[in-house]
């Protein structure tokens, strides 16, 4: 019975060892990993993701296959134009051959970062500062190509490289700021000068047009003023001519006595003025002597023949043509009503407007007119100097228009 107990213990011990070795040989590989199995110092095979059983005495190294971000530390680099600049970068890498990443390099992370530092320093040193600031894409592409070619033997692929920051040192940055400020001031000065130039051109163009318009206005106003002055001169001359003809017609029947009385009336009007000195262009005593003679206080009155009406009409024209017609009350009322009807027809867009209306049908709103006798008294008969025959009454005609008055 004792012999069986030892046997049972030995079998149980062996079973435990076997179970331990079986459990010890099971490895779980994550989906983003691969395993490298090493047995007795020799590379055996690659373990794929999932459960894998290996020899219990073998060791397994896990390799992450995901894209990894490596940060290149900030470092000061001297550019081609001797401008100290602080530069850092970011590298995106991925393991594509796990055995090489384990057996060809001690630590591919450190090796890749160190290689990126030296390569970045070399690339930046061959470029000027302005080129670095404006050509980051070129630096990224060139650095990625160099790193990818160098890390290919390590089983590592460089997907991308990005320059994180390019920061010139203090004095260089201050000089760049001054340069930028000067450039902006230059552009502002150019824009300001261009604006002033355009403004001056526009102002000159406006002044030119203004002067042209003013000159045109002055020319037109002078033409209109000259035309108005010409018409006014003609009308004044016509009026003066008619006045002289009327005066000659009225003065034709005056004698020396009447002229003396008119002279005395003129002297009286001159004396009623506000002037303190009055100058007469003739001897006043002779005027008084002539006035006393013609008024009947002198020794005698000289004889002077009077002009007849026929003589005056032959000299200056007919009396009716000179004095003009005198309209009657009925004609004035008819003309006023005609004008009112025309105005009312224009405002109401009437189709037909009567030309004449009777005096009895006058509009109540029209102004009241004085009686006929107050406006046009009946003509009196005058005797001529030759025979004393009565003159015919003046011929009536329509009210003269503005053109007819101007012609007279």
Q: Which of 20-34, 92-106, 361-375 has the highest mean pLDDT?
A: 92-106
Domain assignment present for residue 211? The answer is no
Mean per-residue pLDDT of the chain: 75
pLDDT of amino acid 157: 93
Strand pairing report for 59-64 and 156-168: unpaired
pLDDT of amino acid 389: 37
Strand pairing report for 50-53 and 26-29: antiparallel
229 CB-near residues (< 8 Å, 6+ apart): none
Considering 168, 198, 217, which residue would you say is the last residue of a domain?
168
Q: What is the pLDDT of residues 59-96, one digit of tens each?
A: 888 888 899 999 999 998 888 888 888 999 999 999 99
Same-domain status, 14 and 85: no
- Is-contact 330 372, C-beta < 8 A? yes
Same-domain status, 93 and 17: no
Considering 42, 63, 84, which residue would you say is the last residue of a domain?
63
Task: Work out the pLDDT band at 5, boundaries 50, 70, 90.
Answer: confident
Q: Could you tell me how far CA 44 lies from the centroid of its own chain?
A: 85
pLDDT of amino acid 232: 86
Domain assignment present for residue 265? The answer is no
For the question of whether the overall pTM of this predicted structure is more than 0.85, the answer is: no
Q: Look up the domain containing 366 and give its range.
A: 318-375+400-408
Same-domain status, 325 and 408: yes
With 50 as the cut, is the pLDDT of residue 403 above it?
Answer: no
pLDDT of amino acid 92: 94
Domain assignment present for residue 6? The answer is yes
Same-domain status, 90 and 146: yes
Domain assignment present for residue 212? The answer is no
Domain assignment present for residue 322? The answer is yes
Look at residue 214 and give its three-state secondary structure. helix
Domain assignment present for residue 173? The answer is no
Of 384, 257, 396, 260, give the one whose Cα is nearest residue 312: 384
Q: Would you give the DSSP letter of residue 96?
A: S
pLDDT of amino acid 355: 42
Same-domain status, 113 and 31: no
The pLDDT of 3-10, averaged and rounded, is 76
Cα separations (Å) of 212 from 226, 275, 299?
A: 21, 51, 78
Least confident of 49-58, 73-82, 280-289, 329-338: 280-289
The pLDDT of 205-214, averaged and rounded, is 92
The pLDDT of 217-229, averaged and rounded, is 87
Of 134, 130, 126, 136, give the one whose Cα is nearest residue 172: 130
Question: Which has more pLDDT, 397 or 129?
Answer: 129
With 90 as the cut, is the pLDDT of residue 207 above it?
Answer: yes
The pLDDT of 140-165, averaged and rounded, is 91
Considering 16, 40, 63, which residue would you say is the last residue of a domain?
63
The pLDDT of 271-295, averaged and rounded, is 63
Same-domain status, 324 and 346: yes
Same-domain status, 74 and 54: no
With 90 as the cut, is the pLDDT of residue 354 above it?
Answer: no
Same-domain status, 39 and 51: yes
Same-domain status, 106 and 58: no
Domain assignment present for residue 15? The answer is yes
Domain assignment present for residue 72? The answer is yes
Number of domains into which the chain is organized:
3
Cα separations (Å) of 322 from 171, 315, 382?
A: 109, 12, 17
With 70 as the cut, is the pLDDT of residue 375 above it?
Answer: no
CATH classification of the domain holding 71: 3.30.479.30
Distance CA 280, CA 289 (A): 16
Distance CA 279, CA 256 (A): 23
Task: Work out the pLDDT band at 383, boundaries 50, 70, 90.
Answer: very low
Same-domain status, 77 and 135: yes
């Amino acid at each position: 019975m004792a012999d069986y107990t030892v046997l049972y213990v030995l079998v149980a011990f062996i079973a435990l060892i076997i179970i331990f070795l079986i459990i010890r040989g099971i490895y779980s590989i994550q989906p983003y990993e691969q395993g490298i199995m090493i047995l007795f110092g020799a590379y055996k095979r690659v373990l794929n993701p999932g459960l894998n059983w290996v020899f219990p005495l073998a060791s397994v190294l896990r390799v992450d296959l995901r894209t990894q971000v490596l940060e290149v530390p900030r470092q000061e680099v001297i550019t081609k134009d001797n401008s100290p600049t602080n530069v850092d970068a970011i590298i995106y890498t991925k393991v594509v051959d796990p055995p090489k990443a384990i057996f060809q390099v001690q630590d591919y992370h450190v090796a890749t970062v160190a290689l990126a530092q030296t390569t970045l320093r070399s690339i930046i040193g061959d470029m000027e500062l302005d080129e670095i600031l404006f050509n980051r894409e070129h630096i990224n592409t060139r650095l990625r190509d160099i790193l990818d070619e160098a890390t290919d033997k390590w089983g590592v692929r460089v997907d991308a490289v990005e320059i994180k920051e390019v920061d010139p040192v203090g004095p260089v940055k201050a000089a760049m700021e001054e340069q930028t400020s000067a450039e902006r001031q230059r552009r502002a000065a150019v824009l300001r000068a261009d604006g002033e130039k355009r403004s001056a051109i526009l102002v000159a163009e406006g002044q030119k047009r203004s002067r042209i318009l003013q000159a045109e206005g002055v020319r037109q106003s002078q033409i209109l003023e000259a035309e108005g002055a010409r018409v006014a001169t003609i009308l004044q001359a016509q009026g003066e001519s008619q006045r002289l003809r009327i005066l000659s017609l009225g003065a034709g029947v005056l004698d020396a006595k009447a002229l003396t009385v008119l002279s005395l009336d003129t002297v009286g009007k001159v004396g009623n003025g506000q002037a303190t000195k009055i100058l007469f262009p003739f001897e006043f005593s002779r005027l008084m002597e002539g006035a006393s003679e013609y008024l009947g206080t002198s020794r005698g009155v000289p004889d002077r023949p009077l002009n007849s009406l026929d003589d005056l009409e032959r000299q200056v024209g007919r009396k009716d043509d000179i004095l003009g017609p005198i309209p009657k009350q009925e004609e004035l009322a008819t003309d006023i009503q005609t004008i009112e009807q025309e105005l009312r027809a224009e405002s109401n867009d009437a189709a037909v407007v009567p030309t004449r209306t009777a005096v009895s049908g006058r509009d109540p709103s029209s102004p009241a007119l004085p009686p006929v006798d107050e406006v046009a008294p009946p003509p009196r008969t005058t005797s001529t100097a030759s025979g004393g025959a009565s003159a015919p009454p003046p011929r009536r005609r329509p009210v003269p228009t503005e053109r007819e008055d101007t012609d007279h």
